[in-house]
Amino acid sequence: MIALNEPTILCVVSFFKGNDFIRECKRQGARVVVLTREKLLTADWARESLADLVAIPGKTTVQSYLAAAIHIARQRRVTRVVALEEYDIVTAAHIREHLCVPGMGTTIARCFQDKLAMRAKAHDRGIPQAEFVPLLNYEAIDEFMKRTSPPWSC
CATH code of the domain covering residue 29: 3.40.50.20
Nearest 5°: CA angle at 90, between 23 and 115?
Answer: 110
Q: How confident is the model at residue 153 (pLDDT cuts 50, 70, 90)?
A: low
CB 106 within 8 A of CB 117: no
- Is there a domain that residue 38 lies in? yes
- Is there a domain that residue 126 lies in? no
- Is there a domain that residue 100 lies in? yes
- Is there a domain that residue 135 lies in? no
Q: In the chain, pLDDT over 90 holds for what percent of residues?
A: 70
Determine phi and psi for 35, rounding to 5 degrees. -105, 120
Tell me: pLDDT of 30 over 60: yes
- Is there a domain that residue 153 lies in? no
Q: How confident is the model at residue 154 (pLDDT cuts 50, 70, 90)?
A: low
Number of domains forming the structure of the chain: 1
**What would the mean pLDDT of 100-123 be, rounded to a whole number?**
87
- Is there a domain that residue 92 lies in? yes
Q: Residue 108: which domain range?
A: 8-112
